[in-house]
Amino acid sequence: MDMSGPKNKRRSISLAAFPELNPNPIIEVDSSGAITYINAAAKRLFPDFEETGAASYLVDIEMIASGLRQKEDKLHVREIRIGRLWYQQSIFVIPGVDIISIFGVDVTKLKQAEELLLDDRNRLNAILESSMDAVILIDGEGVISYFNPGAENMFGYTKDEVIGRRLHDLLVSEKARSEYLLALPEFSKTGLCRVVGKTLELGARRKDETRFPVEIAIASMQIGGKWHSVGTIRDISSRKKPE
């Protein structure tokens, strides 16, 4: 087969040009850690490794390469931070020539989005954990998956005692239990039932079997493709006493 034809020459030229045209940094080093190749994108990003501190872009490369040489899978992927920027590196050893190639992709925007999401999650968790109202999350079968400190104080159970158990077996009064159980099948299919989106007054039951009136607002949401409901519950015993 003639490998010197025009098509193969064009292909060779295209492959040779790929690293230089790639907008992401590509760096190659030898087994001693010396740089043997740096593409145009990497030169723009790291004009001077020593002055910019971007030498950390290659931190532990020799150790990673040493591990890769002992494995069948010659690829290692990691994330590394350079100043304010984050890069995902694909590191692999080229067999035969013992050259280590590092392909980088700027994932700064993705990391910033993850950090914002984590901040939002931490903020929401702080609100839920400090709320005096009870906040309880259950799935379509009525199994409890979240039980905040407000719920622990209100019902007398610790979260470890209730997580994984059915709400209606623990907290719902006998009077409300039958209606609750009838609504579960429809809710698990559609996320809808007559109590979703409403604020209701119901009877509740503590661990010590005492009954007390509560006001509960219920909302539905999908988690992992399945319907869940979250209830925000307030003890209204003091309000009901005058009545």
- 62-72 residue pLDDT tens: 888 888 777 77
| 175 pLDDT tier (thresholds 50, 70, 90) | low
Helix, strand or coil for residue 26? strand
**Stated pTM of the model:** 0.61
In DSSP notation, 171-190 reads TB-HHHHHHHHHHHHHHHHH
The per-residue pLDDT for range 69-127, each reduced to its tens digit, is 777 777 889 998 888 889 999 998 887 777 888 999 999 999 999 999 999 989 989 99
Q: Which of 176, 104, 188 is nearest to 142 (CA)?
A: 188
> Domain 6-111: which topology?
Beta-Lactamase (3.30.450)
CA distances from 223 to 75, 76, 149, 165, 230 (A): 34, 32, 22, 18, 11
Domain ranges of the chain: 6-111, 131-240
Which homologous superfamily is 131-240 in?
PAS domain (3.30.450.20)
CATH fold match for the domains 6-111 and 131-240: yes
